[in-house]
Amino acid sequence: MQHTIHERSWVEIDLAAFRQNLVFLKSFLQPGQDFLQIVKADAYGHGAKEIAEAALAEGAVYLGVANSEEGKLLRIQGIDARILILSPSLPEEIDEIIKYDLDPAVSDIVFAKNLAESARIAETDVRIHLKIDTGMHRSGIRLEDALNLYHEITGLHNLVVEGVFSHFSSAESDSIFSSLQEEQFAALIAKLPEKPRYIHLSNSAGTIGGFGKICNLARFGIFSFGVDTVGGYSARLAPAMSFKSTLSQVKTVLAGESVGYNRDWRAPKDGKYGILPIGYADGYDFLLSNKGKVLVQNNICQVIGRVSMDMITIDLSEVPNARVGDIVTLLGANEPELRAEALAGIYQGSPYELLCQVGRRARRYYKSRDHILHSAPIARRDFIAADFGNSKLNQIISSALAKRLESAEIGDLIYKEILRSFFFNKDRDVHYRRSFAHEISFSTMNNAAFYQAKTRLSYRKILGNNYFVVACATSDESLRRYFMRTDVEYRWLLDAALDPGSEHFKVDSVKINGFELFTQMNLSEDSLEIRCSHPKLDALIGTEVEFEISTTTLYPKNSHQLSVFISELTQGVQISFLFPEELSHVEPVRIFSGQEKNPPIIREENRITLKTEASEWVFPLSGVVFTY
């Protein structure tokens, strides 16, 4: 196989292998049975979005996640299939469940009532799956109370019982107990006055074991990733995940010397060993110390010494020509000894856990057989957007970009980049302005070279601090500096011939919610800063307030153009230019990015106005240049 990847470590996900495993699993379904693809825990580390898409293409009718956050992430990534939350949800998750159209598992009447009430307020119906405990004794309503709960819930408004399900405790190892659970479940289903749309019980092993015949849905997890937890099926399953690294150092060791922490391994003879730049922080289990196996140039090599946080050491005595840069496989790749079930078996661990944790610091490459399709960023799992109030913003920006670029693919790419910098970065607040109105009016004055320019700016925004700055720059350089600062609300570039110190730039009034702020001038060599504050502002921090800023300044007649920029994400923009009679040929040039590239122009005598819809989003660096 031709490799172009050379990183400290990476994960390869073979989507063709995944789909082949699904085909195998589907062969166990009865006619009329559908399947739900489990994508919880980022699809056991394989990437929830990619696995969801492949499973849906293979006919999955449902996706299964662990909590509302996982469901929300899938929605943000554009998945619109039905999503079941398998674990019990907290009351705090109800808003997101409704907002992102997720179907929770319910086994508690108090939660059900809360959910119904929130659904009523949101004027929507929520689909739920009733979770029954048939003997696993983890989540779910106890069997003897199940029928009661069913009746109570069906009596609630705004809830639809879309499914009833239970879960095996030992489908892969105890068929007698599984049969008992199945009998109990079947007896309960028989008592329901009306069959919900989905009845489901089996996971992978249950399906393989022939359980769930009375069901019309099966839940596929571990086997779909090519891991055989039953025994005897590994030849029919192809591991979807491989974890690889690059040999970063090759060294010699002399008989009797020890390697690594605590001197846990000692060389029986002179030999060679290698260092791999991955450790337990990358998800390589500490319990594989002195026990793990890796593949180097088609040779299985032993992990020697303790697994460190960031490194492991491997015995290279049998691979005399091993070199720095050699690719080393730590998991998968169809090597029987490197399958998740075999590796986990070495330390009596769980192959589920192994898959979830391996490659924590690794980029994931998606491929179909040997062909690489695309890669996903390292630790993508962290990029879950914090909610930013306006639920539609995501979709609006996404569709605006896609439309603007006429290419869903590029639109999607840019959308993700923009969203990441706007919202996914948790340290950064989302600022946007609403109802932005900027009016600039020129009038003639005694000075022949300049117009007097009066500016009036107003908008609504969440107040972030108890002061802000209005800045007047005299050079592009200082203007740029003010664009970088987050405490500057308004910037003006003064003509180089003018002096900011001699009242050529004046703040007439600065108001928040209609009350006048205190202003304090601060003149430096190349700029004038006006600090605006008021003791009342402390109480308003974090709330949306109305800003009003009015200035008077001068503008050179011979400039022949006036630019008005939008410097922040803004919803609803109106920009007006009022000009004296002597300027008869004013032309606006619109540079808008957002939904509307050409906001309508309203021409009146001596005034030109550009106005978007109040709900429309306009991106930073939009604006208009008035030429005259």
Ligand X SMILES: *Cc1c(COP(=O)(O)O)cnc(C)c1O
Q: Which residues are designated catalytic?
A: 40, 261
Dihedral of the alpha carbons of 191, 192, 195, 200, in degrees to the nearest 10: -70
Total binding residues toward ligand X, as defined by CB under 6 A: 11
Min CB(78)–ligand X separation in Å:
23
Q: Which residue is nearest to ligand X (CB)?
A: 221
Strands across the sheet with 467-473, in order? 488-493, 467-473, 527-533, 518-524
Min CB(165)–ligand X separation in Å:
7
Binding mask 160-199 toward ligand X (x if CB under 6 A, else -) reads -------x--------------------------------
Query: Is 393 among the residues that bind ligand X (CB under 6 A)?
Result: no
Dihedral of the alpha carbons of 150, 155, 156, 157, in degrees to the nearest 10: 130
Q: 29 or 564: whose CB is closer to ligand X? A: 29
Burial of residue 519, with CB atoms counted within 10 A of its CB: 0-12 exposed, 13-18 middle, 19 or more buried: middle
Q: 189 or 414: whose CB is closer to ligand X? A: 189
Q: Applying CB under 6 A, which of residues 43, 54, 86, 457 lies at the interface with ligand X?
A: 86
d(CA 127, CA 82): 10
From the list 206, 204, 199, 170, the residue with the least C-alpha distance to 185 is 199
Q: Applying CB under 6 A, which of residues 26, 49, 127, 219 lies at the interface with ligand X?
A: 219
Q: Which amino acid is at 353?
A: E
Determine contact, residues 510/519, Cβ cutoff 8 Å: yes
Q: Applying CB under 6 A, which of residues 45, 163, 221, 271 lies at the interface with ligand X?
A: 221
Q: Which amino acid is at 171?
A: A
Q: Applying CB under 6 A, which of residues 22, 54, 159, 205 lies at the interface with ligand X?
A: 205
Q: Which amino acid is at 618?
A: V
Q: Interface residues for ligand X in 257-296 (CB under 6 A)?
A: none
Q: 227 or 322: whose CB is closer to ligand X? A: 227
Binding mask 97-136 toward ligand X (x if CB under 6 A, else -) reads ----------------------------------------
R_g over Cα of the chain: 32
Q: Interface residues for ligand X in 1-20 (CB under 6 A)?
A: none
Query: Is 222 among the residues that bind ligand X (CB under 6 A)?
Result: yes
Per-position DSSP letters for 540-595, written without gaps between them: GTTSEEEEEEEEEEEEEGGG-EEEEEE-S-EEEEEEEEE--TT----EEEEE--BS
Min CB(154)–ligand X separation in Å:
22
Query: Is 361 among the residues that bind ligand X (CB under 6 A)?
Result: no
Task: Give just the sign of the alpha carbon dihedral 465, 467, 470, 474.
Answer: negative
Q: 181 or 204: whose CB is closer to ligand X? A: 204
Min CB(288)–ligand X separation in Å:
22
* Chain position carrying tokens 């399958």: 339
d(CA 14, CA 373): 10
Q: 38 or 471: whose CB is closer to ligand X? A: 38
Q: 39 or 510: whose CB is closer to ligand X? A: 39
Written as six digits, the tokens of 526 are 């190349």
Min CB(237)–ligand X separation in Å:
12
Query: Is 94 among the residues that bind ligand X (CB under 6 A)?
Result: no
Q: Interface residues for ligand X in 28-47 (CB under 6 A)?
A: 38, 40
Give the interface segment with ligand X, choosing from 4-12, 213-221, 358-366, 604-612 (CB under 6 A): 213-221
Residue-wise burial string across 379-392, b where 16 or more C-beta atoms lie within 10 A, e elsewhere: ebbebebeeeeeee
Min CB(98)–ligand X separation in Å:
22
Query: Is 203 among the residues that bind ligand X (CB under 6 A)?
Result: yes
Min CB(219)–ligand X separation in Å:
4
Q: Quote the DSSP letter at residue 385.
A: P
Please give the distance of CA 39 from its chain centroid, rounded to a whole number. 15
Q: Name the residues that contact ligand X, by CB under 6 A.
A: 38, 40, 86, 167, 203-205, 219-222
